[in-house]
Amino acid sequence: MTGPDRVGDAGLIMAAYQRWGEGCVDRPRWDFAFALWDRQAGRLLLARDFIGSRPLFFAHGPGFFAFASMPKGLFAVPDVSNALDEAEIDAYLALLPAHGTRTLYRDLSRVPPGHIPTVHGGQRHLHRYWRPEEMPALPVGRICRSRRAWPPSWRAKS
């Protein structure tokens, strides 16, 4: 975005973080994956939207923590190998759903959808912020029983 009255995604994320802290991830109505360094807290925060539309990967080892939107960005880090994880390859080929932070690469992890990994003082934490089981249920039964809510083509056939 450009122009005097427009704010880019980075500006929106920063303003949201300044106002709501980690709760800023509950506000956007778009897909996102971002990293944010909180200088005052001395903490790195990564975040991924609850659908997982945007990828976000990380790698860590003695003295480093790196992140990138695509795996090949992390392979530029000297201590990160592109060796494959055979167990994850087997699960992928068996069409098993991906879960947790594991990836097809042994040295890489992924930020799962709806999660916030943080790094502070050398300690890593993974926080799940999106919990669909806590969402209110939709009144589907009541909607289906109300013929007025049906499209006209359905009402004509009933």
Nearest in space to 58 (alpha carbons), one of 121, 8, 125, 131: 125
Domain boundaries, the chain: 9-157
3-state DSSP helix/strand/coil % of the chain, to nearest 5: 30, 25, 45
Query: What pLDDT is stored for residue 21 in this prediction?
Result: 93
Residue 72 host element (H or E)? helix 71-74
pLDDT of residue 116: 96
Rg (CA), the chain: 21
pTM for the model stands at: 0.79
CATH number of 9-157: 3.60.20.10
Question: Is residue 48 within 8 Å of 111, Cβ to Cβ?
Answer: yes
pLDDT digits (tens, 9 = 90+) for 96-155: 888 899 999 999 999 999 999 999 998 999 999 998 888 777 666 665 666 666 666 665
Query: What pLDDT sits at residue 134?
Result: 80
Question: Residue 62, class by beta-carbon neighbours within 10 Å (0-12 exposed, 13-18 middle, 19+ buried)?
Answer: exposed
Percent of the chain with pLDDT over 70: 84
